[in-house]
């Protein structure tokens, strides 16, 4: 019955979008090639990649990104699920909290985190230290970083997950699973999570981009992250920043592609309409 019409308008939107997105990138790229006078060359790129710190910091940021995705997914999914099924009253306050990271400047957040977590966590009223100050050692600082980034990514991850849950009708799925005798762990990991793949992918991609590109929190926490490294490399140079921003764009795009591959494709697509 469904006619296989040529999706004319879809192509128009797509091509318009492609034009809009690619032109500024192309402009950055052509400028970065102009480092050598009178000739196009990759000189700016050579200079930018001469440093092995580039890969070290990129790797570190990738690690932090994966951790952040994990934490924010583990935080958002049960919460969104619980609110949908059992506690709709809490919905507004949770949504409000997830929108707060937009209005809290990153610099306030990082200084707040430092203030609170640079003191050791003691057993109340004693001097016995349970956890030494997080900022004093690398693992602790990385944990703090992941926490900070989870906060930053919360609006995006939560919204993606929430939209996904609305789409898949969690109430019915849960009932069906329960009537088949599943416990909460099975429901969560074998029914809900797989159906949220497409939404999780969106949330993961958004989180990844935020973490790899972030500068303020990382540079004040003194961690070897990619953002501060790019900054250190040459905000005052002419051509290298353009080369670097183009490269980090492409590298992040490749990483996104890998994430998508690993997450098993594109989730449920409902076929031609």
Partner 1 sequence: MRTKKFAYNMFALFVIAATLLSACGPKAAAGQLNVIALPHDWCNYGGVIDAFKAKYPGITVNELNPDAGSGDEIEAIKANKDNKGPQAPDVIDVGFAFGDSSKTDKLIQPYKVPTWDSIPADAKDADGYWYGDYYGVLSFLVNTDVQPNVPQDWADLLKPEYAGQIAMSGDPRTSNQAIQTVFAAALANGGSLDNAQAGLDFFAKVNSAGNLVPLIANNGLVAKGETPIRITWDYNALAAIDSFAGNPAAQVVIPANGRFAGVYVQAISAYAPNLDNAKLWMDFLYSDEGQLLWMKGYCHPIREADMRARKVIPADLLAKLPDVSGAVFPTLAQLNGAKTLITGQWDSVVGADVKAAP
Partner 2 sequence: MANTTISASSAAPSIWRKWVGVVPFFLFAILFLILPSLRLFIGSFTNNEGKFTFDNILQLFEQQSILSAYWLSIRISAVTAIGGGIFGFLLAYSVTVGGLPKPLRSMLITFSGVASNFAGVPLAFAFVATLGRTGIITAILKDVFGVEIYKTGFNLYSFLGLSLTYMYFQFPLMVLVMTPALDGLKREWREAAENLGASQFQYWRRVALPVLLPSILGSMILLFGNAFGAYATAYALTGGALPIVTIQIGAQIRGDVLHNPGLGYAMAMGMVVVMAISLAGYSWLQSKSERWLK
Spatial distance between the Cα atoms of 248 and 58, rounded to a whole number of angstroms: 9
Span from 71-79, 131-139, 195-203, 251-259 in contact with partner 1 (CB under 8 A): 131-139
Cα R_g (the chain), whole angstroms: 23
Using rule CB under 8 A, residue 147 touches partner 2: yes
Nearer to partner 2, 38 or 271 (CB): 271
206 closest CA partner among 153, 262, 129, 272: 153
3-state SS class at 131: strand
DSSP string, 45-77: HHHHHT-THHHHHHHHHHHHHHHHHHHHHHHHH
Structural contact between residues 25 and 210, judged by C-beta atoms closer than 8 angstroms: no
Spatial distance between the Cα atoms of 182 and 263, rounded to a whole number of angstroms: 24
Using rule CB under 8 A, residue 216 touches partner 1: yes
Q: Which of 36, 59, 111, 189 binds partner 2 (CB under 8 A)?
A: 111
Binding residues among 75-104 for partner 2 as defined by CB under 8 A: 75-76, 78-79, 81-83, 85-87, 90, 92, 94-97, 99-104
Residue 187, binding choice from partner 1, partner 2, none, Cβ under 5 to 8 Å by partner class: none
Using rule CB under 8 A, residue 219 touches partner 1: yes
Using rule CB under 8 A, residue 36 touches partner 1: yes
Using rule CB under 8 A, residue 131 touches partner 1: yes
Q: Which two tokens stand for residue 9?
A: 């308008």
Nearer to partner 1, 157 or 223 (CB): 223
The values of phi and psi at residue 90, to 5°, are -80, -5
Q: Which of 19, 103, 139, 272 binds partner 1 (CB under 8 A)?
A: 139
Q: Which of 179, 236, 271, 272 binds partner 1 (CB under 8 A)?
A: 236
3-state SS class at 200: helix
Q: Which of 161, 241, 248, 255 binds partner 1 (CB under 8 A)?
A: 241
Binding residues among 5-24 for partner 2 as defined by CB under 8 A: 7, 9-11, 13-14, 17, 20-21, 23-24
Using rule CB under 8 A, residue 121 touches partner 1: no
Residue 239, binding choice from partner 2, partner 1, none, Cβ under 5 to 8 Å by partner class: partner 1
Spatial distance between the Cα atoms of 4 and 271, rounded to a whole number of angstroms: 12
Cα torsion at 179, 198, 91, 187 (round to 10°)? 20
Backbone conformation region of residue 271, classed left if phi is above 0, alpha if psi is from -120 to 50, else beta: left
Residues at the interface with partner 1 (CB under 8 A) = 31, 34-38, 107, 111-112, 114-115, 118-119, 131-133, 135-141, 215-216, 219-222, 228, 231-232, 234-239, 241-242
């Amino acid at each position: 019955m469904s006619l296989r019409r040529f999706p004319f308008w879809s192509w128009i939107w797509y091509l318009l979008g492609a034009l809009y997105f690619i032109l500024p990138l192309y402009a950055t790229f052509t400028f970065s090639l102009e480092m050598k006078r009178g000739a196009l060359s990759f000189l700016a790129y050579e200079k930018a990649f001469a440093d092995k710190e580039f890969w070290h910091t990129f790797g570190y940021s990738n690690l932090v990104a994966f951790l952040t995705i994990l934490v924010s997914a583990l935080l958002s999914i049960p919460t969104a699920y619980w609110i949908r099924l059992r506690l709709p009253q809490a919905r507004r306050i949770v949504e409000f909290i997830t929108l707060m990271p937009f209005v809290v400047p990153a610099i306030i957040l990082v200084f707040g985190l430092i203030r609170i977590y640079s003191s050791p966590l003691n057993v109340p009223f004693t001097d016995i230290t349970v956890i030494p100050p997080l900022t004093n050692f690398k693992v602790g600082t990385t944990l703090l970083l992941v926490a900070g980034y989870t906060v930053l990514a919360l609006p995006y991850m939560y919204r993606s997950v929430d939209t996904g849950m609305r789409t898949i009708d969690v109430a019915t799925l849960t009932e069906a699973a329960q009537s088949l005798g599943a416990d909460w762990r099975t429901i969560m990991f074998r029914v809900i999570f797989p159906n949220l793949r497409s939404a999780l992918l969106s949330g993961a991609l958004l989180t990844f981009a935020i973490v790899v590109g972030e500068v303020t929190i990382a540079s004040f926490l003194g961690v070897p992250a990619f953002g501060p490294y790019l900054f250190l490399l040459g905000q005052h140079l002419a051509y290298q920043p353009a080369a670097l921003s183009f490269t980090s764009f492409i590298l992040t795009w490749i990483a996104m592609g890998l994430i998508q591959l690993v997450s098993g494709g594109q989730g449920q697509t409902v076929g031609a309409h």
